Amino acid sequence: MNPIFIAVIYGLVQGLSEFLPISSSAHLALMPFFLELRDPGVAFDLCLHIGTALAVLIYFRQSVLAIGRQAVPSLVRWSDESAGLCRARHFVLATLASVLLILALRPFTAPFRGPWMIAGQQLVFGLLLWAADLWQRRPGKALHGFGHFSTARALPDAVIIGLAQALAIFPGVSRSGITLTAALFRGIERREAAAFSFLLSLPIIIAGALVELPALLRSGLGEDGLFILGLGVAVSFVSGILTIHFFMRLIGRINLGWFTLYRVGLAGLLVFLLLRS
Tell me the CB-side half-sphere exposure of residue 16, using CA atoms within 13 A: 10
pLDDT digit string (tens) for 122-155?
999 999 999 999 999 888 888 888 899 999 999 9
pLDDT digit string (tens) for 73-92?
999 999 999 999 999 999 99
**Alpha-carbon torsion angle 222, 225, 227, 232, nearest 10:** -160
Report the pLDDT value the prediction gives residue 177, as an integer from 0 to 100: 95
Report the pLDDT value the prediction gives residue 8, as an integer from 0 to 100: 87
pTM metric for this prediction: 0.89
According to DSSP, residue 188 is labeled B
DSSP, residue by residue, 161-177: HHHHHHGGGSTTS-HHH
User: How sure is the predictor about 217, in pLDDT bands with cuts at 50, 70 and 90?
Assistant: low
| Cβ pair 109, 169 in contact under 8 A | yes
**Alpha-carbon torsion angle 247, 251, 257, 260, nearest 10:** 40
CA distances from residue 186 to 30, 53, 85, 144 in whole angstroms, order as listed: 32, 26, 22, 9
pLDDT digit string (tens) for 241-254?
999 999 999 998 88
The residues, ordered by sequence, that sit 6+ positions from 206 with a Cβ below 8 Å of its Cβ are 50, 53
pLDDT digit string (tens) for 18-64?
899 998 777 776 776 666 666 555 666 777 888 999 999 999 999 99
Residue 11, pLDDT > 80, answer yes
